Amino acid sequence: MNENTFSSVVRAFETATDKEGHRLTMDSLIVSQGDKRFEHFFNSENEPNDLRSLSKPILCMALGIAIKDGLHLRNQKLGLDTPIWQFFADKIKLTNEANKSLWQRVKLKHLLTHTIGYEVGLLFSKDIKDRSPDTLLEYVFNYPIAHEPGDFFVYSNVGPYILSALIQEELGIGLAEWVNRLLFEPLGISEFSWKNYGKYCAASSGLKLSHADLHKVSRLFIDGGRYQGRQLVPLQWLELMRTAHVQTPSMYDEARVFPKFAYGFYLWICKNGSYYCDGTDGQYLIVLPKTGTLITTFGHQSDMKPITECLRPLL
């Protein structure tokens, strides 16, 4: 990658239109490869933005650090096969009795791969807009589970929210502060905010960071989890995050720049090994392992397909 390539991408953003014929509403673009870094601000001078679903892999990084550090809950070491229901059985009024045996088979790894077993995605604006935020945890535990845990993928905001409640209830600390201690503070990130859904941090969305700080966190994928000579996020955990744990044929579109072939831990996986996370309205975290390239974008662009089209010269 060089200055000319980056400039061509910027020009593409400045001239592209969405499906309604409007110019794209992008805030900023940062691309790094090795010691090269290029950035361009369209409509924002590094103002904090809601990362939307890019919150998910950041949460997952913190979880990997905690597991490496030997986090114990109720006298047992937390791991991917840790059953989840045991931590909520004394807190949730389970009115849907059919769910009980299924929840007893839900493990931590199912929260990370959206394979709890729901038929539809939950905790999006359309299904929570008329619900009291204080009832959301009972809502997701009582919503019918249609498939055996681990067998069926549907993209959802439930897994991160349950993790948020789990951390807060078991450790007595909100998820935002927990992630701050494990990840943000070691990276020198001090300016952030994270909204709540009722009692608990939203986890799946609502994290505000500056673009520079988002790119700093995301560099851990390129740098093998190391920051300033310290192994912050275990490399083995990052490998698990970008491993295809479940294929997603219903999401796959070969014509897209980054086809969603499979899913890792809160990351979409492409057939060519690239992986990424996308957040509503133009937030992207994209890693191209073959060239060691990291791409992050901020925007307020509801039609997101043109964004990735503008990035084609970087492939």
* pLDDT, position 191: 97
Through-space distance between the first and last CA atoms of the chain, rounded to whole angstroms? 10
* pLDDT, position 227: 98
Q: Which residues contact 95 (CB under 8 A, 6 or more apart)?
A: 142
CA–CA distances in Å: residue 177 to residues 38, 47, 164, 165, 172: 31, 21, 11, 13, 11
Residues of the chain with pLDDT under 50: none
- Distance, in Å, from the CA atom of 284 to the CA atom of 142, rounded to the nearest integer, reads 32
Q: 277 pairs with which residues across the strands?
A: 285
* pLDDT, position 45: 75
> Is the dihedral angle over the CA atoms 185, 80, 174, 153 positive or is it negative?
positive
Where in the chain are the domains? 3-47+210-314
E-strand stretches of 248-310: 262-263, 268-269, 275-279, 283-288, 293-299
Which of these CATH numbers, 3.40.710.10, 3.40.50.880, 3.40.50.10880, 3.90.1720.10, describes 3-47+210-314? 3.40.710.10
This prediction's pTM = 0.97
* pLDDT, position 125: 92
Q: What length does the chain have?
A: 315
